[in-house]
Structure 1
């Protein structure tokens, strides 16, 4: 692994730079014409690739070199240095690459290399058609991967959502805060699905799965058949059941429609109660404070996000939100909601013309269960993400898979995990037999502070802290029985990448 970098941003690499200016393991930023280019020397070879991650535009010079790949510092996408090929989401597109030539002691970046072309697949190993149920992270990653891998058979994407696949993590962050426009959200344009011959259907629900007939019955009464099927039905928000929970000013945030409805209320809302101090609840709180609303957060725990991040980071997150004007009511729950106020279990009453609940989600396993697939707090899959029925795969929030690092079955509700599972499931539908062994990763953003988390620690008996959480500069390692299970970082992107690599390299159980 290496990560040293320097910048010669104004340098035109086509004119060459001294080859000695690039040490092994170093990255140098310059340009070719108007395009920002990263020149990399790794294991004695020189590579020239696009300088920014196509996901959110992170500078790859701040990333990590691992063998002949580079990893994005913000959200851990991975690319090939040789061809610019996308190796791992959350990015969706390849990097541009250029040929590098050395002569007279100088390194020159020459013409652009051709884009990576899909391989030619042999028909004998392929399903006649593929159906994906679910238009979220896993479903969209799967349909894109099928085409990227060269599959040319019929592909159908079925989504209950009214919109084509979009960037759901942005909903509770920049989009709700008003700092991201609606046209930032779609993962692809409608033309992309048309051009790639993907039959993407919105506002449609799969109501019955018949594995014996390899058929799916839809809410409009029609049926589609499949050669291979991916279940990526996601999860549904848990709803409050207290008196007043069904009032019109009580909202959840899961879909784009949910978010648009919430934004529509912000024109008249002034005081909001957020129920739940997890990721969604606090990202919503930060976004609404950015818009100037008065925000109160109600949660039963002692610290925000304590169940996942522990007390130290929980205190940091609370202090961060309080510094931005959020008021916490911890150790309490909602007893009743009225049209203009929320009554808490402690007897406190909070004025509110808007209530947003973020108290968790439940996996949508009904379709799988009724079809006779093995279900245990999620849809049970093997290491290849195949369910108990051959030819049927599951990915994303519903999948419970064998974690090779702990030997336990786990289910993770993270966007990037869902995307990476969609990729692996699609490849396995095409006969690749690729094990899903990626280390889980997620990020959460609050105002200008991001927390990155790699690994999975359902429980831990020790949390080691390096640095100062109060200064938003720390690494927290979560241990159980002397085994490091997960690492959270604040302000230390490279530490997060290094921890991810270390966890990947551990000997499987």
Structure 2
């Protein structure tokens, strides 16, 4: 994802515009100098906030205004349309603000205003003195940052098993692997920002024991923490395959930045890579590896990769897109053996492929061993939580990949980055004594050869996929339905429509 945003568009708001050009309840995009600015008009008041999303810089003027929020057209971050406060991930920073001057029937934007003041410290019997968060991924990091935004001033520990400070994990299999995103793009916050917020971030911190009775945690190296409230956000780990030869150094998984760095190092002098698995991670990695001019083989058990997720017609077009970029598919096949010395991968039909490097991308499993050993109630591989993300222990919440929660009347787990962030942000409120039910619509995006498919909703068992357009035209919408009821939609080149589907699903759930 490029950070090149180009010149700001729209009228010069420093020179002024007609008040009537700003619709009540809507926005007008313009600029002040080189800064993109969004004018909003709500209940007769005019406000000026930044016009670029603080996540990847998307133009918010192309987004959707809903209930006092402006929603990012690219990745659905949510901002308060008046104050610029960040309300929902994947953005984690607020928008800047400007002074608004109304002169008769015209509006002019003046100087930039200082940042909003910090929230007043929260007080009350339900506010814990110490909160510990286990997991430095999407849910854990978003929860820690939101706790401080809400005014929590107690002790706050963020314990991460990762060796890197929290980073943009979706980019690991996209531009970072392709080599077009430098490492300094990846951190979500500067190291200093955790110190400034008094978040005690511990890296390489694997928690090995949870004593619920004593409310203590112990790490594998013997350190110990006590908590009043605990958030488990331990995430997921890649599935590994028990295939002969798959213990070789040239066989990789891809979940973390460390995984990506090891994989990239293995590519030195390589000409061919075998990717096992044709889900989103496998195909994103295939595209990234083709960007590095490597021969790429994709091996998958399915005859129609991703059809059960996005519909057969669109899935076939995604596979064709990869083929057009030189990816070779071996469908309805499985790996049988890897000979690292010969750099050859044998398939279950006896075929042998040249493979200097092997990448296993067949999915992930939730990291629930800690929760299970502590006796928390589990269901189908996840930590069972209520509508407020509270586990069977009232002092412990769970969010992200491990949380099994209710969506549209059915219990499920959802392994999406944005959804995990939103759950972390919701859990933060509830850790402070609120009873806020989590009901955000799932959203994710997938990146292939400069093309982003955006997926809104959750369609585990759809029976109809209504498709308009094609990948070749850069204009696609697939609506996934069950018994005529909309469950989700996948779009390309229809960002506004994707936001409207999100709103449609929200309204159906209300």
Q: Give the deviation of 1:45 after TM superposition.
A: 4.4
- Please show how residues 40-59 of structure 1 align to structure 2 within 5 Å: 40-41=40-41, 45-59=45-59
Give the 3-state SS of the residue equivalent to 1:263 in structure 2: helix
Distance 1:158 1:108, change over 3 A: same
Q: Following the alignment from structure 1 to structure 2, what is the Cα–Cα distance between the partners of residues 123 and 24? A: 38
Q: Following the alignment from structure 1 to structure 2, what is the Cα–Cα distance between the partners of residues 316 and 61? A: 31
1:96 pairs with 2:96: yes
Q: Any idea what the Cα deviations from partners look like across 1:130-177, whole Å, max 9, x if unmatched? A: 001111011101110111111111111111111111111111001010
1:371 to 369, 374, 392: 374
Q: Following the alignment from structure 1 to structure 2, what is the Cα–Cα distance between the partners of residues 45 and 447? A: 43
Q: Give the deviation of 1:26 after TM superposition.
A: 5.4
1:360 alignment counterpart: 363
Q: Give the deviation of 1:16 after TM superposition.
A: 1.3
Q: Any idea what the Cα deviations from partners look like across 1:19-60, whole Å, max 9, x if unmatched? A: 344445654333224422122345654331111001001111
Q: Following the alignment from structure 1 to structure 2, what is the Cα–Cα distance between the partners of residues 322 and 63? A: 33
Q: Following the alignment from structure 1 to structure 2, what is the Cα–Cα distance between the partners of residues 119 and 447? A: 46
1:389 to 389, 393, 407: 393
Q: Give the deviation of 1:466 after TM superposition.
A: 2.3
Q: Following the alignment from structure 2 to structure 1, what is the Cα–Cα distance between the partners of residues 54 and 124? A: 33
Give the 3-state SS of the residue equivalent to 2:174 in structure 1: helix
Q: Following the alignment from structure 2 to structure 1, what is the Cα–Cα distance between the partners of residues 492 and 13? A: 34
Q: Following the alignment from structure 2 to structure 1, what is the Cα–Cα distance between the partners of residues 152 and 271? A: 52
Q: Is the Cα contact below 8 Å between 2:390 and 2:396 reproduced in 1?
A: yes
Moved more, 360-369 or 462-471: 462-471
Distance 1:9 1:463, change over 3 A: closer
1:81 pairs with 2:81: yes
Q: Is the Cα contact below 8 Å between 2:391 and 2:398 reproduced in 1?
A: yes
- Please show how residues 98-137 of structure 1 align to structure 2 within 5 Å: 98-116=98-116, 117-137=118-138
Q: Give the deviation of 1:467 after TM superposition.
A: 2.5
Q: CA RMSD in A?
A: 1.6
Q: Is the Cα contact below 8 Å between 1:8 and 1:29 reproduced in 2?
A: no
1:4 alignment counterpart: none
1:441 alignment counterpart: 443
Q: Any idea what the Cα deviations from partners look like across 1:48-101, whole Å, max 9, x if unmatched? A: 111100100111111111132100000000101110011100001011122323
Q: Following the alignment from structure 1 to structure 2, what is the Cα–Cα distance between the partners of residues 42 and 197? A: 35
Q: Give the deviation of 1:8 after TM superposition.
A: 8.1
- Please show how residues 268-417 of structure 1 align to structure 2 within 5 Å: 268-339=269-340, 340-376=343-379, 377-403=381-407, 405=408, 407-417=409-419
Q: Following the alignment from structure 2 to structure 1, what is the Cα–Cα distance between the partners of residues 493 and 163? A: 37
Q: Any idea what the Cα deviations from partners look like across 1:389-418, whole Å, max 9, x if unmatched? A: 011000010000011x2x110100110011
Q: Give the deviation of 1:204 after TM superposition.
A: 1.3
Q: Give the deviation of 1:113 after TM superposition.
A: 3.8
Give the 3-state SS of the residue equivalent to 2:496 in structure 1: helix
Moved more, 160-169 or 61-70: 61-70
Q: Which runs of 5+ in 2 are unaligned?
A: 1-6
1:492 alignment counterpart: 494
2:4 alignment counterpart: none
Distance 1:10 1:72, change over 3 A: closer
Size of the alignment, in residue pairs? Answer: 500
Give the 3-state SS of the residue equivalent to 2:318 in structure 1: helix
Q: Following the alignment from structure 1 to structure 2, what is the Cα–Cα distance between the partners of residues 68 and 303? A: 42
Q: Is the Cα contact below 8 Å between 2:48 and 2:98 reproduced in 1?
A: yes
- Please show how residues 132-281 of structure 1 align to structure 2 within 5 Å: 132-281=133-282
- Please show how residues 400-479 of structure 1 align to structure 2 within 5 Å: 400-403=404-407, 405=408, 407-479=409-481
Q: Any idea what the Cα deviations from partners look like across 1:360-409, whole Å, max 9, x if unmatched? A: 11111111111010011200000000000011000010000011x2x110
Give the 3-state SS of the residue equivalent to 2:125 in structure 1: helix
Q: Following the alignment from structure 2 to structure 1, what is the Cα–Cα distance between the partners of residues 149 and 23? A: 34
2:38 alignment counterpart: 38
1:3 alignment counterpart: none
Q: Following the alignment from structure 1 to structure 2, what is the Cα–Cα distance between the partners of residues 14 and 475? A: 38
Q: Following the alignment from structure 1 to structure 2, what is the Cα–Cα distance between the partners of residues 131 and 214? A: 10
Q: Which runs of 5+ in 1 are unaligned?
A: 1-6
Q: Is the Cα contact below 8 Å between 2:252 and 2:263 reproduced in 1?
A: yes
Q: Is the Cα contact below 8 Å between 2:167 and 2:186 reproduced in 1?
A: yes
Q: Following the alignment from structure 1 to structure 2, what is the Cα–Cα distance between the partners of residues 73 and 446? A: 18
Q: Give the deviation of 1:11 after TM superposition.
A: 4.3
1:13 alignment counterpart: 13
Q: Following the alignment from structure 1 to structure 2, what is the Cα–Cα distance between the partners of residues 343 and 29? A: 56
Q: Is the Cα contact below 8 Å between 1:393 and 1:425 reproduced in 2?
A: yes
Question: Taking structure 2 as the reference length, what is the TM-score of the superposition?
Answer: 0.95
